[in-house]
Amino acid sequence: MTNRRESRCPGSGSVSLPDGTGTVPLRAEAAELAFGFGDLAVEREGIVGVLGYRDGAMPEHFGELLDVALAEAARRCLPRAGYRLVEAGRAEGRFDALTVGGTVFATQKIVAGALGRAERAAVFACTIGPALEEWAREQMAHDPALGFIADAVGSAVAEALADRLHDRIELEMARRGWRITNRYSPGYCGWSVAEQHALFALLPAEFCGITLGESALMHPVKSVSGIIGVGAAVKHSDYLCDVCTVRDCTYRRYHERRGTNGGGGAHR
Ligand code: SF4
């Protein structure tokens, strides 16, 4: 997929390539990348795990409801995803904060440690749109099981979209000779969800059609936002949550049930 919608943000400049062969412009625009539902590779088995069933133990009726919800998702989801590349680094004299696009974020130590050696960050956001969550809410009134399963499908589709966006960012950064980190979102790893407002201030208004409520909740709800560290010296950890000492973590529980690694909105 190569289509891009670009929205202008302030800030520009250029950066040297790591091999010393020249410079490339630092992307000053936030760019939307094109994804269709078929690109997302949503894993049915992962959703079965999130619903609490393993190894074919899901009752047949629930399996049928899951297939109905997946078919509705294919019809109703309108994936939108994009990012903006900005300068980033550890906030001076602090081990618990980062400067991203000129703004200091009190990310706390897990995120600040992971991006401590980043030179840039991809500030990203993605959503599957509001139609599936609205349909799931309607089903709750007369078939709560279907509504509940459709809601779980919406979460899985949003995570799959974030995974594919992560893949694309990795590819685009690799072309410049840079590595990327796991992804991190406000609300996880000790990073306050209130900083979502400052994060979205680095993106054009209503980027990908996402707006924030006062409580920093995204609309549509099935959306993911955050940062990914970029640079020659950063690394991606396949087992971030496995070695993390935070035990009471919603994201960890979600990915344990799904049967995947997780971390700060950081799995993959
Ligand atoms: S378990 Fe994973 S998501 Fe949770 S705080 Fe640790 S690294 Fe972050």
User: The domain that contains 97 carries what CATH number?
Assistant: 3.40.109.40
pTM of the model: 0.88
pLDDT tops 80 at residue 35: yes
Q: Which two tokens stand for residue 219?
A: 């609309």
Task: Let me know if residue 86 belongs to a domain.
Answer: yes
Contact between 152 and 47 (Cβ < 8 Å): yes
What CA–CA distance (Å, rounded) separates 240 from 137?
A: 34
Quickly tell me which residue has 């000129």 as its tokens: 102
Provide the domain limits for residue 26.
4-258
- Give the distance (Å) from ligand 1 centre to CA of residue 106: 16
**DSSP bridge pairs for 1:** none
For 204-243, the pLDDT digits (tens) are 999 999 999 989 999 999 999 999 999 999 999 887 888 8
Task: Let me know if residue 265 belongs to a domain.
Answer: no
Task: Let me know if residue 175 belongs to a domain.
Answer: yes
pLDDT of residue 72: 98
> Looking at 42-56, 131-145, 174-188, which range is the least confident one?
42-56
Task: Let me know if residue 26 belongs to a domain.
Answer: yes
For 154-211, the pLDDT digits (tens) are 999 999 999 999 999 999 999 999 999 999 999 999 999 999 999 999 999 999 999 9
Average pLDDT, the chain: 88
Task: Let me know if residue 248 belongs to a domain.
Answer: yes
Q: Judge if the beta carbon of residue 262 lies within 6 A of ligand 1.
A: yes
pLDDT of residue 56: 75
User: Helix, strand, or coil here: 169?
Assistant: helix
Task: Let me know if residue 57 belongs to a domain.
Answer: yes
The predicted model gives 32-57 an average pLDDT of 92
pLDDT tops 70 at residue 13: no
Task: Let me know if residue 229 belongs to a domain.
Answer: yes
pLDDT tops 70 at residue 32: yes
- In the chain, how many domains are there? 1
Task: Let me know if residue 29 belongs to a domain.
Answer: yes
Q: Ligand 1, residues 183, 240, 260: which to mutate, most atoms within 8 A of Cβ?
A: 240
- Give the distance (Å) from ligand 1 centre to CA of residue 125: 20
- Give the distance (Å) from ligand 1 centre to CA of residue 140: 31
Question: Which residue lies with its CA nearest to atom 1 of ligand 1?
Answer: 241
The DSSP code sequence of 208-267 is GG-EE-TT--EESSSEEEEEEEEESS----TTHHHH----S-HHHHHHHHHTS---SS--
- Give the distance (Å) from ligand 1 centre to CA of residue 139: 32
